[in-house]
Chains A and B, each alone.
Chain A
Amino acid sequence: MTVAAEERELRDDELNGLELSARLRSIWQTPSGLLGALTSVDHKVVGRRYIVTAFAFLLLGGLLAILMRIQLAGPEKTFLSADKYNQIFTMHGSTMMFLFAVPVMEAFAVYLVPLMVGTRNIAFPRLNAFSYWMFLFGGCFLWISFALNVGPDVGWFAYVPLSSLQYTPTKRPDVWAQMITFTEVAALAVAVEIVVTVFKLRAPGMTLDRIPLFVWAMLVTSFLVMFAMPSIMVASTSLILDRLVNTRFYDSSSGGHPLLWQHLFWFFGHPEVYIIFIPGTGMVSAILATFARRPVIGYPVVILSLIATGFLSFGLWVHHMFVTGLPQLGAGLFTASSMLIAVPSGLQIFCWLATLWDGRPVYRTPLLFVIGFIVIFVLGGLSGVMVASVPIDTQVHDTYFVVAHFHYVLIGGAVFPLIGAVYYWFPKITGRMLSERLGRWNFWLAFVGFNVAFFPMHILGLIGMPRRVYTYTADMDWAHLNLLSSGGAVIFALSFVLLLVNVIMSLRSGTLAGDNPWNASTLEWATSSPPPPQNFDRIPVVKHRDPLWLDNASLPVVAGLSVERREMLVTSLAEAEPQIREASPEPSIWPLLTAIATSVFFIGSIFTPWAVLWGTPPMAVTLIGWFWPSGSKEDEE
């Protein structure tokens, strides 16, 4: 760019107040209309869609859970056939894990991380849009298949040889495997975006030890995604190949090995639990600081625990395979490491309790959910330490004890913080508060319903009820506890209905939130609710770990960015020193077209290997369209 051109460009230090806002808004806005909606690259638009879609899948997965609980409420019920039940528990597990829990956490990160680090958009916004479309198409693919009676029925971990062609000669396992590919592509894309956003787009002065804990949690999670998900992609690809072109990965008559599947799956599957849980802890830390009215005690301890948990989570996968006949030493080692991982989680819990203790807690709904989380998660951790020991696991493996355990950690560790997060950030995202009165009902219904639904499952497991059975006979004496559990499940489901009602009512007529209704300390509260398309009129400068508690009336900012085109500030990795004024991409239809081409390729390739040939050119064309400069000012620097 020539000096003359540079001088002509208007910068944000020459404008003020409303005029500055209006100009930036017109540059950063998503175009209106359908085309606008399809081309949006605004992290808030994409994040909101991601959140809503993930919750839609929670609703669907939850409906399936209720169907299962109806079927199991009494002995020898015929509400669901065995085949339907197989499909339903597989769909429930897969939907919850791959279409709800992981995506919803990433969705919150997509929305919040750029705001919390004080920038205007996520890194690689078009990749972000692409990620959302892939997630949406993958989810629809699974559910449409289910509607067509090709829903997977081999469990959420699709063990071979059951899922091999010989034992399941339908397309059902292929649907499962390819849904994995869709969602992993989506998750990997978001992971890279978050890492780069946190590394390079932080507001000046936000050194590593001033990064909000939620952002730290999402950073660690993103690394887990990057190192865990390739394993499941290798697994799902090899499974499809075995089924489509007769490769022999899992065929023991030709040198293949079924346990290879379990290793590949759990190398991903165990970290997966932490991919769901670590963001939950980030939410807890954010909420706790705000409502205890003091920073979380032991900030460095919490971060080190997060990182330690991340590392350790890759050394545990074999504990899912204790009953496969492992060498003694191996089993011992993995028992030890499984118990070890309780240590960093325990440390974090002590930090949170200390924070509550030392603070002046204000018991609003988000904090209630956090406390619910702590109680439930501790219980889940206890049963976890139990099943980490080989002799106990050998007894309760594949019983309802395990079903109880993982719902305690998944729902306690992730869903409770998540609902707390919904109450906490809803005002930022929509500009309106959720009703506190309904919120309290919501919490108590959820807390009581959850425990009534899942605690009896521990006992059911101990007295011998296996998981994945579609019914049982009356003489087993499992009927009462099952009925109790089903009743609890209904109460728990009602709590979500209440949440939905609360959301709908509050969207219409909730109290207006203002910028910072909770008087919180992090940067997302330094802008309006909902934030304008540019997030901040000027990029904040951070001088403290809790910037808004240091000074909540005036915000130190940098000036000198363009108000004629989309520009963001790139800063250095450790010290967040400003380095580059970098252009940020305009809206584009190409990510959607690329996602469509990729979907055609993926779905085609479970039917014929030739899809690799005819599916590649459209992908190449759309990718070139995506990366080819459009000739706009941003591109021609």
Chain B
Amino acid sequence: MRHTIVRNVAELPTYGYGPRSGPWWGAMGFMALEGMGFAIAIGAYLYLYAVNPSWPIGAAPPDLWPGTAETVIYLLSIIPNQMTNRAAHRQDLAKVRTGLIVMSLIGIGLLVLRGFEFAHLNTRWDNSAYGSIVWLILGLHTTHLATDVGDTVVLTVLMFTRHARPRRFSDVTDNVFYWNFVVLAWLPLYVLLDWVPRL
């Protein structure tokens, strides 16, 4: 077919931020399906809760302090996360590096706390259906957390190499975006795991 050039796009940028860029929508997509996974797991929890006359089954509710400490850290982590975001938009490499290091450390700290949380669930996965669903949900979110922390650590290292080119700042903002989702996903799970058994 004959081509008639009706427009020239040579002046367009080669990367973008937020909903302008493809990877941001990719992240959105994965958040949607992971969010759905959590919703389904929550549904399963509530189903088991509804069909059982006593809840939690044969166990004390989880100790409150590990989950609560995590929740506080998650909420506070939004601050350095947003600072990293702003630095990335300004393409301020030094600040981005600091921000990413802080976020990596927070993530690792949370993973350690998560270990304590498992230890303080007061039930095992094979005790009862209650134990099973609690371990499953916490396990899901831990996988989610660990993946994001791994991602953040790799990105942090990357920003210290020669690959720290301008387009990587867009990756940093996507990483920030994803962390917000990790935090957001945790809040209902915290209520579910730590407070529903106390109802």
Contact = CB atoms under 8 A, between A and B. Distances in A.
Given A248-B132, A538-B5, A570-B22, A627 B166 contact: no
B8 A13 contact: yes
Contact of B36 (A201, A226, A237): A226
Contacts of A204: 7, 9
A635 B163 contact: yes
Contacts of A191: 29, 33
B80 interface: no
A188 interface: yes
Contacts of A45: none
A524 B70 CA distance: 52
A251 B33 CA distance: 28
Given A558-B5, A582-B15, A231 B132 contact: no
Given A247-B126, A267-B40, A581-B14, A226 B32 contact: yes
Contacts of A231: 36, 40
A201 B21 CA distance: 10
Contact of B1 (A195, A233, A263, A554): A554
A195 B29 contact: yes
A553 interface: yes
A473 to B, nearest CB: 40
B3 A554 contact: yes
A242 B129 CA distance: 10
Given A192-B26, A192-B33, A558-B9, A241 B136 contact: yes
Contacts of B136: 234, 237-238, 241, 247, 249
Nearest to A223: B32
Contact of B129 (A11, A249, A624, A637): A249
Contacts of A559: 5, 7-10
Contact of A233 (B5, B9, B37): B37
B162 to A, nearest CB: 8
Contacts, number: 200
A620 B150 contact: yes
Contacts of B130: 255
Interface stretch (B41-49, B91-99, B106-114, B184-192): B41-49
A248 B3 contact: no
B60 to A, nearest CB: 16
B16 A579 contact: yes
A604 B132 CA distance: 21
A373 B131 CA distance: 49
B8 A560 contact: yes
Nearest to A192: B29
B129 A569 contact: no
B33 A196 contact: no
B37 A255 contact: no
A580 B12 contact: yes
Contacts of B165: 635-637
B48 A541 contact: no
A237 B143 CA distance: 14
A386 interface: no
A637 B14 contact: yes
A624 B37 CA distance: 25
B122 interface: no
B4 A241 contact: no
Nearest to B146: A616
A601 to B, nearest CB: 12
Interface in A229-268: 229-231, 233-234, 237-238, 241-242, 245-249, 251, 254-257, 260, 263-264, 267
Contacts of A554: 1-4
Interface of B: 1-16, 19-22, 25-26, 29-30, 32-34, 36-37, 39-41, 43-44, 47-48, 51-52, 57, 125-133, 135-136, 150, 154, 158, 163, 165-167
25 contacts: A13-B5, A123-B25, A191-B29, A200-B22, A226-B32, A226-B33, A231-B36, A245-B125, A247-B135, A248-B128, A249-B129, A249-B132, A255-B128, A255-B129, A256-B128, A260-B48, A526-B1, A555-B4, A556-B4, A559-B10, A560-B10, A578-B12, A580-B16, A581-B12, A582-B15
Given A257-B129, A559-B7, 20 more contacts: A196-B26, A226-B36, A227-B33, A227-B36, A230-B40, A241-B132, A242-B132, A247-B126, A555-B1, A556-B6, A557-B5, A559-B8, A560-B8, A561-B9, A570-B20, A581-B12, A582-B14, A582-B15, A629-B158, A635-B163
